[in-house]
Copies of this chain bind each other. A is one copy, B any other.
Amino acid sequence: MTRTITHQLDPDLDLVLERIVDVPPNLVWAAWTKTEHLKKWFTPAPWQTVDCEIDLRPGGIFRTVMRSPEGQEFPNVGCYLEVIENEKLVWTAALKPGYRPQNAAPGVPVFTAVILLEPHAGTKYTAIALHADEEGAKKHASMGFHDGWGKALDQLVTLAKTM
């Protein structure tokens, strides 16, 4: 009953960032799952993550508040779906905590994020954003998915090396 699912990627609907990083999976996992760590790397500077709430179980809340350099705040609430320590983390913005459906905010592409960690002289890190349609995937790409998630990962690695 607890077999996990393999994600079949669709190049028209999914955005993928894959990279080898020179920190082990358990530190990448800690950076993703402890609020005190996540706030330090999650948003590419000069943006900041000023608040974060993590209830690390399927159905649990994943909430962040990002602040722009101009001081505007952007709250996000999502729901964890799969939590496999040091291996796989899945959450979605399509649901609120407790699996309640959530209406999309205007102009914001709704996605499910899949983070995969594999030991590989460090970690083979794969971040996938799954979208409902091509429009959402294109919008997310044009908003800077690859650059933004890549810069955030650089920040994560820098932080992990201090842990």
Which A residues form the contact surface with B (CB < 8 A)? 1-5, 7-8, 13, 56-60, 81-85, 90, 92-103, 110-112, 114, 130-133, 136
Contacts and interface: CB of A to CB of B under 8 A. Distances in A.
B133 A7 contact: no
A104 B108 CA distance: 16
B100 A13 contact: yes
A2 B83 CA distance: 8
Contacts of A60: 5
B98 A57 contact: no
Nearest to A60: B5
A3 B57 contact: yes
B83 A1 contact: yes
A33 to B, nearest CB: 10
A100 B130 contact: yes
Contacts of A111: 101
22 contacts: A1-B57, A1-B83, A1-B85, A2-B2, A2-B58, A4-B59, A5-B60, A8-B98, A13-B100, A58-B82, A59-B81, A59-B90, A81-B81, A82-B99, A92-B99, A92-B101, A95-B112, A98-B130, A101-B111, A101-B136, A102-B132, A103-B133
